[in-house]
Amino acid sequence: MTTATRPTTGVSRTAVIIAQARATEDARPDRLFADPLAAHLVDAVGWIQVADAGRMNQEYFALRTRFFDDHLQAAAAAGCTQVVLLAAGLDTRAFRLTWPDGTQLFEVDLPALVAFKEAVLRARRATPACDRVVLPVDLRDDWRSALVDAGFDPEQPTAWLVEGLLMYLDTGANDTLLAELGELSAPGSSLGFEHANQAYVDLPQMQEVWRRLERFNATWSSTLDDPVAWAARHGWDAQVTTADELAERHGRPVPPLTDPALVGDARMWLVEATRSDR
């Protein structure tokens, strides 16, 4: 067990819940991806009892992970030599995916979460499959200077990933974040992000989740009803994939909280975008 502070509160706690979903997926014989480090990271915290809706979302998190795995691998193959995971949480893509030679992968997250994760990875003697750079920094501070100081080159194309973060920031902070990363995005850059619409937040099935998140000081602060238009305003050509499309792609049942037949207009958006204005 690591001596670093365990991420049991705040938004960092949600990183553990996502890692639990990946560990569970890793154990399946028909898994959509391998993530052998996920269970070690979760074990070091202690498994978290999730709400019913959280259990229902397990399959969604697995589909989401595979979706952004494929997105990042395609971006790297297309020439993005830099990968930046904003709010990386307990993501282990630097270790578990195959990267082209010379790929630099930056992980940004809050200092306490990073300290915990690095302690576990060191104890496992985990070896990254790329040049991995870890940045313990708050995205509300000057993260761009920290990134550039750590070796990031704004003139090189970058694959950005903002997975499981935007809903925890308010609309203004999301606008700022997208503007900031846009300024660092050379031609050929790509962006993956996830968000949810207001109808999703209003789902009766989600109310227990919101109550639990509130108890841990990890409430959602924004929704997004038109991700393509929002991305376009920030200079990105975006396309959306929904979880039911992904489920069909991978021969999985549609996760109940993302099944239009059960949730009407409620949507989690999985978005891929390329730079349109440079």
Between 155 and 163, CB nearer to ligand SAM: 163
The single-letter code of the amino acid at 160 is W
Minimum distance from residue 211 beta carbon to ligand SAM (Å): 17
Between 198 and 219, CB nearer to ligand SAM: 219
DSSP characters over the chain? --SSPP--SHHHHHHHHHHHHHHHHHTSTT-SS--TTHHHHHHHH-PPPPPHHHHHHHHHHHHHHHHHHHHHHHHHHTT--EEEEET-TT--HHHHS---TT-EEEEEE-HHHHHHHHHHHHHTT---SSEEEEEE--TTS-HHHHHHHTT--TTS-EEEEE-S-GGGS-HHHHHHHHHHHHHT--TT-EEEEEEE-HHHHT-GGGHHHHHHHHHTT-------S-HHHHHHHTTEEEEEE-HHHHHHHTT-PPPGGG-HHHHTT--EEEEEEEE---
Q: Find the residue with minimal CB distance to ligand SAM.
A: 89
Between 45 and 90, CB nearer to ligand SAM: 90
Between 214 and 277, CB nearer to ligand SAM: 214
In the complex, the residues that contact ligand SAM under the rule CB under 6 A are 11-12, 14-15, 18, 87-91, 109-110, 113, 138-140, 163-165, 168
Minimum distance from residue 85 beta carbon to ligand SAM (Å): 7
Between 221 and 276, CB nearer to ligand SAM: 221
Between 144 and 186, CB nearer to ligand SAM: 144
d(CA 168, CA 230): 17
Minimum distance from residue 276 beta carbon to ligand SAM (Å): 24
Minimum distance from residue 138 beta carbon to ligand SAM (Å): 4
Minimum distance from residue 79 beta carbon to ligand SAM (Å): 24
Between 165 and 181, CB nearer to ligand SAM: 165
d(CA 252, CA 243): 10
Minimum distance from residue 242 beta carbon to ligand SAM (Å): 18
d(CA 276, CA 278): 6
Residues in the chain: 278
Minimum distance from residue 163 beta carbon to ligand SAM (Å): 4
Minimum distance from residue 80 beta carbon to ligand SAM (Å): 18
Residues 218, 11: contact at Cβ < 8 Å? yes
- ∠ Cα 226 156 65 (to 5°): 45
Between 91 and 236, CB nearer to ligand SAM: 91
